Chains A and B, each alone.
Chain A
Amino acid sequence: MRHIFAASSIALVAAAIALVVGPAVSAQNTARVADLSGDWLPDRSRGGMGQSLSLSDIGGRKRGNEDDIPYQPWARAKTLSEKTSTGPDPHFEATTDPQVIYCEPPGVPHIYLWPIKTRFIQTPQAVYILYEIGPFFRVVWLNEKHPDDPDPQWWGHSIGHYENGDTLVVDTIGFNDKTWLDQMGHPHTEKLHLIERFKRANKTQLEVDMTIDDPGAYTKPWFSHRNLVLSDSGFLRYQQICSVRENQQFFDNVGKPAVPTPGK
């Protein structure tokens, strides 16, 4: 009788798990899933986010002349024509950063250059990547293919898979061309193909390797990297929402009085 009860309990639990997990789960899918749980903050002990994706020029001092960004001529000229809001040569009152001007989404990989946390919600069908700014989220579809001709959109179309039990590989195409790749105005086109590799290096470190492949703007793929560190201070404790009204108030209070008077 006891055995029957135990067997029934196990069957009930199994049925409950099946209901929660769903029929799409296979042993192969669940066996090598990387554990990305936790909240991930840019690693300040290693300098934080920086302003540029260039690994040779994280601070943006050589903008347009970095030795690790294989510009096409127009992309270099476009980069140099932009007025950044931060970095070594900021133009606070005249920036052309679309995220600042229009409150548009920063997109990826630009969003990893913000001092905000990232959280991964992992399900058998998809990984949902949540960001504290916006707040925005992306859907990374597992075990699926890209559509043949995706509509160009802010966050593109992302598919993913796990590798080695510690890495989530996210493959994204279908971006629009409205975002900057970073704070330094590096452009991209709708041909951008971004690969992000999120590797749980250890309990507290998450490495983000990025391959930027955009034959519309660069002559060959190039690479960048950021480190994120596990944070236990809480997720989305304040909603960092871009509001044109609040931006205007800030400008009126702090910005406008500081703008130099012409001729002085």
Chain B
Amino acid sequence: MRRSKLLAVAIGTALMAAPGVVLAHHGANLYDMTKTVKVTGTIAKFYWGNPHNEVTIDATDEKGAAVQWVAYTEPPLVMLERGWTRKSLNFGDKVTAYIFQARNGSPVGTLNRIVLPDGKELTAYPMPGAPAVPNPPANLRSQ
């Protein structure tokens, strides 16, 4: 009996941990992709790697309290195509970021774009000008 209870606890713990493995990509249900919030602060960390790059920004909220934001982009392989490199952001850079924030209000989300100290703007998501739906060739449309 005691063993069964321990097993149940172990399974429960495993299930609670499982979303960590599950939650690898794509967060449109967790983040409000209809609008961005403006975050001004300094780069605390720029993780360049899989499964997604992460931009950590030290900022303050409207009451002046310190708040640390984390926003992710697509992985390096994709962002390299968009002109980003691992040196695009550096510790201490003063930036303004536009973030699709978590629906629950947490200071995390998907990075839309970020303005660097020299005024240069880097777009993360979505790609500018990309149409939503591909145009299949005529010979396959009717099949």
Complex-state Cα separation, A137 to B23, whole angstroms = 26
How far, in angstroms, from A227 to B21 measured CA to CA in the complex? 32
Minimal beta-carbon separation of B73 from chain A (angstroms): 11
* Nearest-Cβ distance from residue A74 to partner chain B, whole angstroms: 24
Docked complex: A82-109 residues within 8 A CB-CB of B: 85-86, 89-95, 100-103
Complex formed: what's the CA distance from A263 to B102 in Å? 17
The B70-116 residues at the A interface (CB cut-off 8 A) are: 70-72, 74-78, 80-81, 102-104, 106-109
| Of A85, A207, A241, most B-chain CB atoms within 10 Å | A85
Partner of A100, one of B25, B29, B107, B137: B25
User: Which residue of chain A lies nearest to B104 when distances are taken between CB atoms in the complex?
Assistant: A260
Chain B residues, CB < 8 A from A102 = 21
- B64 touches A (CB below 8 Å): no
Q: How many B residues touch the partner, as a band?
A: 35 or more
Whether a CB of chain B sits under 8 angstroms from the CB of A190 is: no
Please report the C-alpha to C-alpha distance between residue A95 and residue B26 in the assembled complex, in whole angstroms: 10
- Interface members, chain B 96-143 (any A CB < 8 Å): 102-104, 106-109, 127, 130-137, 140-141, 143
Does A152 interact with chain B (Cβ within 8 Å)? no
Interface check A256, CB cutoff 8 A: yes
**A259 lies within 8 A of chain B by Cβ:** yes
Query: Does the CB pair A238–B21 fall under 8 Å?
Result: no
B1 at the interface (CB under 8 A from A): no
Known: A55-B140, A233-B80. A93 touches B74 (CB 8 A): no
CA distance A238 to B25 in the complex (A): 18
Find the A residue at minimum CB distance from B53: A250
| 8 Å CB contact of A258 from B77, B108, B140 | B108
Whether A237 and B20, one on each chain, are in contact in the complex, defined by CB atoms closer than 8 angstroms, is: no
Main secondary structure of the interface of B (DSSP, over half): loop
- Contacting B54 at CB < 8 Å: which of A94, A243, A247, A253? A253
- B106 in complex: contacting residue of A101, A241, A258, CB < 8 Å: A258
CB–CB B137/A257 < 8 A: no
Docked-complex contact A91 and B54, CB < 8 angstroms: no
**Chain A residue at minimum C-beta to C-beta distance from B135:** A46
Kindly provide the distance from the CB of B79 to the nearest chain A CB, expressed in whole angstroms: 9
B31 CB within 8 Å of chain A: yes
Q: Smallest distance from the beta carbon of B37 to chain A beta carbons, Å? A: 13
Interface residues of A (CB under 8 A from B): 41, 43-44, 46-48, 50, 55, 58-59, 68, 85-86, 89-95, 100-103, 115-116, 132-133, 207, 209, 222-227, 231, 233, 237-238, 240-244, 246-248, 250-261, 264
23 contacts between A and B (CB under 8 A): A41-B81, A43-B134, A47-B133, A48-B130, A58-B136, A59-B132, A86-B28, A91-B29, A95-B23, A100-B24, A115-B74, A222-B143, A225-B140, A242-B51, A251-B21, A251-B24, A253-B108, A254-B27, A257-B104, A257-B106, A258-B103, A258-B104, A264-B104
